Amino acid sequence: MIKAGIIGASGYTGGELLRLLVSHPDVRLELATSRSLAGKPVASTHRHLESFLDLKYENPGLEEIRERCDVVFVAVPHGTAMDYVPKLLDGNTKVIDLSADYRLDTPVFEKIYGIKHRDPRNAVYGLVELHPEAANEEFVSNPGCFPTGANLAAAPLAAAGLIDIAVFDSKTGISGAGISPTENSHYPNLAENIIPYKLTAHRHRAEIVQELTRLDAKLRNINFTPHVIPSIRGIFTTAHLFTKEPLSTEDIRGIYEEFYRDKPFVRFPGGVPSLTAVRGSNFCDIGFEVDKENNRVVVLSAIDNLVKGASGQAIQNMNLMFGLAETKGLWLPAAAP
């Protein structure tokens, strides 16, 4: 059994990690940390885990965490994971960081986040469909939720060198803002409303640019605008991909199905994807329509921001890192109505 620990287990991401790991056939949950809740039952804050988990929150030192765990998920705020990661990596313990601290090249990170990086190091960007090399690593940086949906929507056309301009319009549920209330997640502000924010300069654009230009170094015109919608979970991305040449529906279908062949968590359900069809699951559902008049392909992607956009993808990486099938513990249908 893989002994797993979670640093920062009291938030939404930590709760999803616990929910998925408690049923994973090859994992034993060893510890869940929280400085402020140490000594309290985990199920006292994550009520959905009542009767499934007897753990109490702990606040042990990093050396003890390293000694007790085979894998550690670091689910702490951006800018603080870099204080944990180097002390956890000892050649035996595998680490998966769910913050942004290691997703970008150090100079780009420092520019985007305005923080001096205290532990510059290379890390595999853990979007499994694009980076299966995570299987050979002891440390993986888990992608952001917006870039997961956007990059999966555009990667096949980018890899084929067919995109001239990419415009991403993404809608996210409130849980993407984290467990602490904000102005954008306060119910009276959001109910019956939609709130665009950071219209041209959202931090996650850097991850989208990084991955799409890795697939096509000539692609430069990449645009991204996020919105918060009155939903708890999910990210729905509409990608307007203006292509260098006319493409038919059959062309697009062939490119996408070939690119994602043997990628079990990418599905093509037909028509417009639905957030309800991926809720609570690790799937990314993709649909598309060709606008021949404008050399435009509209690609739609739907993910659960807390699962494929965070915790489920982290477990997908863990499975690869331990030589397991990437679907282990994750092959679950959505909690659709």
Question: What is the torsional sign of CA 278, 252, 295, 131?
Answer: positive
What is 114-136 written as a DSSP string? ----SS----EE--TTT-GGGGG
Q: What angle do CA 274, 158, 297 make, to 5 degrees?
A: 50
Q: How far apart are CA 8 and CA 295, in angstroms?
A: 46
Under 8 Å between Cβ of 151 and 212: yes
Q: DSSP H helical segments within 43-80, as ranges? A: 62-68
Q: What are phi and psi of 139, to 5 degrees?
A: -140, 130
Backbone angles phi, psi at 95, to 5 degrees: -130, 135
> Which residues does the annotation mark as catalytic?
145
Question: Do the strands 284-291 and 296-303 form a parallel or antiparallel pair, or are they unpaired?
Answer: antiparallel
β-strands 266-267, 284-291 pairing: parallel
Q: Which residue has the tokens 């990084």?
A: 210
CA-nearest of 66, 63, 89, 53 to 5 is 66
Q: How many CA atoms lie within 13 A of 330 on its CB side?
A: 28
Tell me 10's DSSP state. S
**Contact assessment for residue 235 and residue 149, using Cβ atoms and an 8 Å cutoff:** yes
Whole-Å CA distances, 285 to 23, 226, 278: 24, 19, 7
Residue 228, beta-bridge partner list: 172, 195
Q: At 112, is the secondary structure helix, strand, or coil?
A: helix
Write the single-letter amino acid at 242. Answer: F
